[in-house]
Amino acid sequence: MKRNLLYWLCRQLICVASDTVFRGEVVGVHNVPRTGPLLIASNHCSHLDPPLLGCQIPHQIRFFARKTLWKPGIPNWWMNHIECIPVDRDGADVGALKKTIAALEAGGVVILFPEGTRSMDGQLQPAKSGVGMIACKTGVPVVPARIFGSFEAFGRNAKIPTPHPVSYVLGRPLRPADYDDPASGKQRYQLASERIMAAIAALELPARPLL
């Protein structure tokens, strides 16, 4: 895919801020395939999750963003130029689904959150069917990711971010055979999402050696 200079400039600035204010551990970057379409599926506790997780992935990422962020002038220009995918959170958004599938079919990398919304308490939530549907329809590898510390840094009820280590664990890619069961009928997409969420839940930070 063509390199988006604005995206990479913004990514670099966010990475500097992340290393300054939210520096934590990063485990498993070697599990991210270097080429080809890819879904990154992560838990979700904070508005910080998309940009900070994106800094750990050596690809240009396509992010979901609510349509209300597209405002006239610079916001509209910026959201379009970093290639965010607008989504209507008030209901099923067929347009967002089509754009996501198109991005993956073009070889893109997309971050999605199986829980669908930020956690209220920092704990993992049940998966919704959307990620499973996209994964099953495209057959792309899914890298499970788990973020630690973003709830403490900027949880759902917080007014401003608080300096706190945010760490990331990236697991081995899940192939279609790992998450998709075409014979499961109407439960196919939900089952796929639950399998992906189980892979996220299994990720843990390595224990630190005792001094």
- DSSP 8-state secondary structure symbol assigned to residue 211: -
For the chain, which ranges sit under pLDDT 50? none
- Which segments within 74-162 are labelled E, that is strand? 85-87, 109-112, 142-148
Query: What domains are defined for the chain?
Result: 25-156+165-201 (3.40.1130.10)
Q: What are phi and psi of 195, to 5 degrees?
A: -65, -40
Instruction: Tell me how far the alpha carbon of residue 200 is from its chain's centroid.
Output: 11
pLDDT value for 90: 65
Helices (H) and strands (E) counted in the chain, each on its own, are: 8, 8
pLDDT value for 13: 95
pLDDT value for 4: 87
pLDDT in tens, 113-154: 999 899 999 999 999 999 999 999 999 999 999 999 999 999
pLDDT value for 211: 56
pLDDT value for 94: 86
Closest of 48, 195, 78 to residue 132, by C-alpha:
195
- DSSP 8-state secondary structure symbol assigned to residue 30: G
pLDDT value for 209: 62
pLDDT value for 95: 86
